[in-house]
Structure 1
């Protein structure tokens, strides 16, 4: 039996090339990601082979310049690709978003020589990146980080601990924010650190309620030596680099959230079309139809919001407020939609035999990462009402 949700979501893509790209992604996810997603998540399997495939397919550097191995795609297109990947498996979609975030500092603030030397491998060379900003005692208050990079000869020695690092221990490179000067945001500098550098090690991965296939771990820097050529931007510029990356990264999280929500809606549509009660499909009952309508409306609204922000970014206009709004709305919507999907399936929704419970567990983390939704509300309020008086 088919239903409307079994058809691919219609997209408003700017070019035939971008439409072909999305068709390629849908075919790839149907063959290589979705069939084994549930089993591999349950086993905690990190799909390194999938990321290698995405790299060879040109999907790990979509929003970056073609001259450095990227795809030269606008964010409007890149985010819709992320949504498709996350709908198939959040570990993959979020992993691509994190890799893109890890490349941002070098791509946007690195020197021409740095970009030429490092970006081609980062974007299409089969490697995977991670982003090191948060610490055990500085999550939302990122400007209070204490990991320190000290001058040592013609380079730097980095010591400290980073926390909640997606791809921690499996990444090939780390974009690292460390303190090189005074306390506060002005004393932070960005570095590009190879994953095999001596003194860099990962703790045992966190035990999480969802996304079990994506390793999240503390990273320990014990006198990690980095040449000055791997410093990105000026000394003290790191915090502004980090904020710039997070604005773009929040759009990635928003797109991933809508992907998870769409997968949950599709599961709800499938189940309610097939499940018979009182002699007819339960999708015929008005109460459930209204739930499905509300879920679909939340998804469409969220998708429209992240695309508006993406188009602003593509046009070179300020988009920080819209990025925070998109991250807030889309992740809250994903939580509501996945909760309703479990309800639609009744007792089956609470079992591991159906994917609805996995979508619910995965949606929760999206309200936390890349700045909690409480932080997003603070960012939005500052844009619309000004900074708080001190």
Structure 2
């Protein structure tokens, strides 16, 4: 068991850190102020530098590296902001991985290399107005015929909704009840019958667009099937890696908050000395550092053990749940260390707190992760409808 990074991993991490810190700070500020996503010219630059699809097979335009490498890069980007990190997230641990694992060769070859080049963005459509945590209650239907699928329904809380170039759409594909009838299809933006609602105005996640998506007799070819009815467990296996990405988004935000508080505590003077000399501040810093290190270890354990496939439900849920909770805690304490400066929009700390809160809702709430963990401990799923 080796907890150290390889020289190649350290070099990749340092490259990502320099690029993110030196070149993305102004972009991050602009995205936060305007609530706009990363522009396409920047996406292409991400792609040229190899930051998209880090753990995607070289066959489809990625670097062919491991999950740890992808998460190391993601953490460095999200330290600057969640908005500038989101394309890295979507290309390495998001719906693109579901396409890579389960999609048809035709779709994989058409879409994934374009994502890795920064030419396309792919989002996932899961939640609906009446199906969030109870995802198996979804009602969006994809009806199969000899020519393909016809899709009808509505999706909500889709990060990238209205902005992405393609969507992995969880759909009811047979009359079988619950998860047995659920699969997924790929729908490209511009397909007839696909429309979008107004952009959501959220507490955080500025620069990560979200909107309702409407499917009105949307037709896609058979090759756009990702998994058929009954493939829901496969989809959720792929989603276990997304949980590691979600956890890393929290970790990076919290790490940036801690770094800011640590630096500030050594510069800010009260009663004639730096506030770090006060034991109350020392204890806060130590507790934040412990939470960050524990979170990183849980995330990297889940990712490392999944290098030959996908993370386990238990490992990914432990990592996500813990990171979601400690990120809120760390950002809150870091804000308190900065005092009034932390509460000011001019210094970025309040943005970290707003963004950190959202990740504990997105991708499966904190409470749902705890149910997942309990299910893994006892070896059976719990019936929430009983």
| Bucket of the pairwise TM-score, normalised by the shorter protein | over 0.9
Unaligned runs of at least 5 residues, structure 2: none
For 1:231-246, what aligned pairs fall within 5 Å after superposition? 231-233=225-227, 235-246=228-239
Equivalent position SS for 2:59: helix
1:82/1:255 contact within 8 Å kept: yes
Deviation at 1:50, TM superposition (A): 3.0
Structure 1: how far apart are the matches of 2:221 and 2:105?
A: 17
Deviation at 1:134, TM superposition (A): 0.9
1:209/1:361 contact within 8 Å kept: yes
Aligned pair partner of 1:176 in 157, 169, 182: 169
Equivalent position SS for 1:127: coil
Show the counterpart of 1:328: 321
- Number of residues of Structure 1 aligned to a counterpart in Structure 2: 378
Deviation at 1:229, TM superposition (A): 1.2
Structure 2: how far apart are the matches of 1:354 and 1:117?
A: 42
Matched, 1:364 2:357: yes
Deviation at 1:316, TM superposition (A): 4.4
1:190/1:241 contact within 8 Å kept: no
Distance 1:308 1:192, change over 3 A: same
Show the counterpart of 2:79: 87
For 1:20-35, what aligned pairs fall within 5 Å after superposition? 20-35=11-26
Deviation at 1:124, TM superposition (A): 2.5
Show the counterpart of 1:41: 32
Show the counterpart of 2:275: 282
2:240/2:310 contact within 8 Å kept: no
Structure 2: how far apart are the matches of 1:338 and 1:86?
A: 14
C-alpha distance after superposition, 1:13-56 (max 9, x if no partner): 23x33322222211210232123423430221222243332122
Show the counterpart of 2:207: 213
Deviation at 1:325, TM superposition (A): 0.2
1:130/1:174 contact within 8 Å kept: yes
C-alpha distance after superposition, 1:73-108 (max 9, x if no partner): 111111111111111111122342234312122200
Distance 1:125 1:385, change over 3 A: same
Equivalent position SS for 2:28: helix
Structure 1: how far apart are the matches of 2:305 and 2:137?
A: 30
1:51/1:92 contact within 8 Å kept: no
2:103/2:224 contact within 8 Å kept: no
1:173/1:193 contact within 8 Å kept: yes
Structure 1: how far apart are the matches of 2:57 and 2:117?
A: 12
| Higher mean displacement: 147-156 or 77-86 | 147-156
TM superposition score normalised by structure 1? 0.92
Structure 2: how far apart are the matches of 1:122 and 1:45?
A: 19
Aligned pair partner of 1:265 in 252, 258, 270: 258
C-alpha distance after superposition, 1:130-176 (max 9, x if no partner): 00111111001111110111234511111111110111111011111
1:75/1:314 contact within 8 Å kept: yes
Unaligned runs of at least 5 residues, structure 1: 1-10
| Higher mean displacement: 345-354 or 86-95 | 86-95
Aligned residues: CA RMSD: 1.8
1:172/1:195 contact within 8 Å kept: yes
TM superposition score normalised by structure 2? 0.93
